[in-house]
């Protein structure tokens, strides 16, 4: 096996009580007992976590000094509570997932912390306090999300259980997707019908749906991969699937297009579809699926860009951002261009936290938080943030490479790719790589649903990575 950081030394520690049921207990346990040293990992995690909490706290103080010129200890105390919660999670991991990846928790924590600092900074600029303040709400949501993540790590001791509930997961995913379409609770914000509202409480169920669907895809593909990959006619060097095997991909395509048309959200639709295509490719190894998937999606998007005015508008804003007509148009490129101005103003080293004018750009705290961070932290800051995401994703992919069961590997890859797609769609949209669509930047952007979903992803990756370390190093990949 590769991955040098996985080398462990024999210390004679006992196997975790959470050890999975293994068909060959005596063999694996005997090896595991001789080669593991989990405490070292957790100590590394603790060190990184303290650094992450320290940087987040510094960011909040700098924001206060930058905008108000004074330090508000109340807000710092609330942030401190969240830091404590993160440490609590670390302690929990010491007990229930001792071999979990040491990078995932610190990365999620620091991104979340920087996000809170930036959102709070925008509140200060706008003079928002209390429940009006997005930063306060973001902190509350962070608390909720971390607790849910904690529950996930504790409750799901063996991820293989999830594979059993794949069809339940599918049902849950589809119901969550359709929830905003229900009259009475569905809510349309910024032109997209993605929210549900219950009293003062709004939630974006699609965020959770992507996890449920990833679980379903992983479970379904592990069982169906053979029929998907081996059967079918070969045309022009491509192994084409049978008609009946096309069923699931068509259903997903219809669902993604449904989101695009009825919920008016290009980004989410791209997310679901990209997730499915990647997972089916990884599980079957058939390039034909990727080509069919891409063809279907691009075809659908091309038709949508002609027929749906909002999609058409997004394309115009992307291609001719600086055209005065597009700039001034309703739903035109004003926001995009202002975001670019902000980032340009930040330049290489940024204006400094609290020193820029990110609030000029609409949605500076959510869709455009990357532009806000680029303005105040500069290219250096953005590179650091992108680097953190890259590391997070690499740790997820590592589970895919080194995992012992195909369901876990596939799920880890799927969840990691969800993060990749979100980053690419959001940052790519803000920086004009692709047309702008409304996805959230994981951990950074204001929004409770997204925080909960991404913390669940982090929790699942922690759980999956724990399994990787649990297995003896002798397991040979297929």
Partner 1 sequence: MNKELRRVSVVALMMFLALFVSTSVIQVFAVDELRADGRNSRTLFESYSAERGPILVAGTPIAESVPVDDQYEYLRTYSQPELYAAITGYFTLNQGNTGIEGELNDYLTGSANEQFLDQLGALVTGQSPRGAAVELTIDPVVQQAAWDALGEQQGSVVAIEPATGRILALVSKPTYDPNRLAAHDTQAVLQAYEELINNPDDPLVNRAISGDLYFPGSVFKVLMTAAALDSATFTPDDTFPNPPRLELPQSSSVISNSEGGACGGGETVTIATALQLSCNIPFAQLGLALGEQTIGEYATAFGFGASVDVPMPATPSRYPEGMDDAQLMLSSFGQYDVRVTPLQIAMISAAIANGGNLMQPTLVDRIIAPDLSIVQDDEPVLFSQPISRETAATMTQLMVGGVANGAASNARIDGVDVAGKTGTAENGGDAPYTLWFTGFAPAEDPQVAIAVVVEDGGGFGQTAFGNRVAAPIAKQVLEAVLNR
Binding residues for partner 1 (CB under 8 A): 278, 281-283, 285, 322, 327, 337, 340-348, 356-357, 360, 374, 378-379, 382-383, 386, 389-390, 393-394, 397, 400-401, 406, 409, 413, 416-417, 420, 423-424, 427-428, 431-433, 477-478
Cβ proximity to partner 1: between 83 and 342 the closer is 342
120 Cβ neighbours under 8 A, 6+ residues apart = 60, 63, 75, 133, 134, 135, 136, 138
Q: Shortest approach of partner 1 to residue 272 CB, angstroms?
A: 17
Q: Shortest approach of partner 1 to residue 346 CB, angstroms?
A: 6
Residue 411 corresponds to which tokens in the numbers above?
């799920």
280 alpha carbon, distance to own chain's centre: 19
The rounded distance, in Å, linking the Cα atoms of 388 and 5 is 18
Nearest one of 329, 462, 467 to 404, comparing CA atoms: 467
Q: Shortest approach of partner 1 to residue 400 CB, angstroms?
A: 5
CA-only gyration radius of the chain, Å: 23
The rounded distance, in Å, linking the Cα atoms of 347 and 24 is 58
- DSSP states along 318-373: HHTTT-HHHHHSTTSSHHHHHHHHHHHHHTTT-S-TTTS-GGGSTTTTTTTHHHHH
Q: Shortest approach of partner 1 to residue 341 CB, angstroms?
A: 4
416: helix, strand or coil: helix
Q: Are 75 and 19 in contact (CB under 8 A)?
A: no
56 alpha carbon, distance to own chain's centre: 20
Cβ proximity to partner 1: between 5 and 477 the closer is 477
Cβ proximity to partner 1: between 252 and 399 the closer is 399
Cβ proximity to partner 1: between 344 and 475 the closer is 344
Cβ proximity to partner 1: between 5 and 84 the closer is 5
Q: Shortest approach of partner 1 to residue 380 CB, angstroms?
A: 9
Residue 407 corresponds to which tokens in the numbers above?
């369901």
Q: Shortest approach of partner 1 to residue 284 CB, angstroms?
A: 8
Q: Are 54 and 110 in contact (CB under 8 A)?
A: no
Determine the length of the chain: 478
Across the strands, what pairs with 191? Answer: none
The rounded distance, in Å, linking the Cα atoms of 100 and 461 is 8
Q: Are 327 and 333 in contact (CB under 8 A)?
A: yes
Cβ proximity to partner 1: between 170 and 373 the closer is 373
For tokens 């959001």, what's the residue?
426
H or E stretch covering 212? helix 205-230
Residue 5 corresponds to which tokens in the numbers above?
């950081």
Q: Shortest approach of partner 1 to residue 424 CB, angstroms?
A: 4
Cβ proximity to partner 1: between 133 and 441 the closer is 441
For tokens 């303290």, what's the residue?
50
Cβ proximity to partner 1: between 257 and 278 the closer is 278
Cβ proximity to partner 1: between 138 and 416 the closer is 416
Cβ proximity to partner 1: between 38 and 381 the closer is 381
DSSP assignment, residue 195?
A: E
The rounded distance, in Å, linking the Cα atoms of 382 and 362 is 19
Q: Shortest approach of partner 1 to residue 273 CB, angstroms?
A: 15
Q: For residue 305, what are the CA distances in angstroms to 145, 264, 421?
A: 36, 12, 20
Q: Shortest approach of partner 1 to residue 318 CB, angstroms?
A: 12
Q: Shortest approach of partner 1 to residue 147 CB, angstroms?
A: 30
Q: Shortest approach of partner 1 to residue 432 CB, angstroms?
A: 7
Cβ proximity to partner 1: between 274 and 447 the closer is 274
């Amino acid at each position: 096996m590769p991955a040098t950081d996985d080398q462990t030394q024999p210390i004679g520690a006992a196997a975790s009580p959470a050890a999975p049921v293994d068909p060959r207990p005596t063999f694996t346990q005997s090896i595991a007992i001789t080669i593991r040293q989990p405490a070292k990992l957790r100590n590394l995690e603790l060190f990184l976590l303290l650094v992450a909490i320290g940087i987040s706290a510094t960011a909040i103080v700098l924001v206060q000094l930058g905008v108000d010129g004074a330090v508000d200890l109340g807000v710092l105390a609330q942030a401190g509570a969240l830091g404590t919660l993160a440490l609590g999670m670390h302690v929990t991991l010491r007990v229930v997932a001792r071999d979990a990846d040491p990078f995932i928790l610190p990365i999620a924590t620091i991104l979340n912390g920087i996000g809170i600092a930036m959102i709070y900074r925008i509140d200060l600029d706008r003079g928002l306090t209390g429940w009006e303040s997005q930063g306060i709400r973001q902190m509350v949501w962070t608390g909720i999300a971390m607790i849910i993540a904690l529950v996930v790590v504790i409750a799901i001791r063996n991820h293989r259980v999830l594979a059993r509930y794949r069809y339940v997961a599918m049902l849950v995913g589809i119901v969550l997707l359709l929830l905003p379409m229900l009259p009475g609770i569905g809510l349309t914000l910024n032109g997209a019908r993605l929210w549900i509202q219950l009293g003062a409480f709004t939630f974006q169920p699609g965020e959770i749906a992507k996890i449920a669907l990833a679980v379903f895809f992983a479970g379904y593909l592990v069982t169906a991969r053979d029929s998907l990959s081996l059967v079918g006619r070969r045309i022009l060097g491509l192994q084409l699937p049978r008609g009946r095997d096309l069923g699931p991909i068509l259903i997903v395509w219809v669902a993604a297009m449904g989101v695009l048309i009825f919920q008016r959200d290009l980004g989410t639709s791209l997310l679901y579809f990209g997730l499915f295509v990647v997972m089916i490719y990884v599980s079957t190894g058939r390039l034909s699926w990727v080509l069919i998937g891409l063809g279907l999606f691009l075809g659908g998007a091309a038709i949508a860009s002609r027929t749906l005015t909002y999609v058409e508008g997004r394309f115009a804003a992307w291609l001719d951002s600086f055209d005065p007509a597009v700039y001034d148009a309703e739903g035109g490129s004003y926001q995009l261009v202002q975001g670019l101005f902000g980032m340009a103003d930040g330049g290489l080293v940024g204006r400094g936290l609290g020193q820029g004018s990110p609030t000029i750009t609409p949605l500076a705290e959510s869709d455009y938080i990357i532009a806000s961070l680029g303005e105040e932290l500069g290219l250096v800051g953005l590179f650091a943030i992108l680097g953190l995401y890259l590391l997070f994703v690499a740790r997820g992919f590592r589970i895919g490479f080194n995992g012992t069961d195909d369901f876990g590997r596939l799920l880890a890859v799927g969840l990691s790719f969800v993060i990749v797609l979100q980053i690419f769609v959001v940052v790519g949209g803000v920086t004009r790589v692709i047309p702008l669509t409304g996805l959230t930047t994981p951990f950074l952007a204001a929004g409770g649903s997204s925080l909960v979903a991404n913390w669940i992803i982090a929790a699942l990756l922690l759980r999956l990575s724990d399994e990787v370390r649990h297995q003896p190093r002798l397991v040979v990949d297929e």
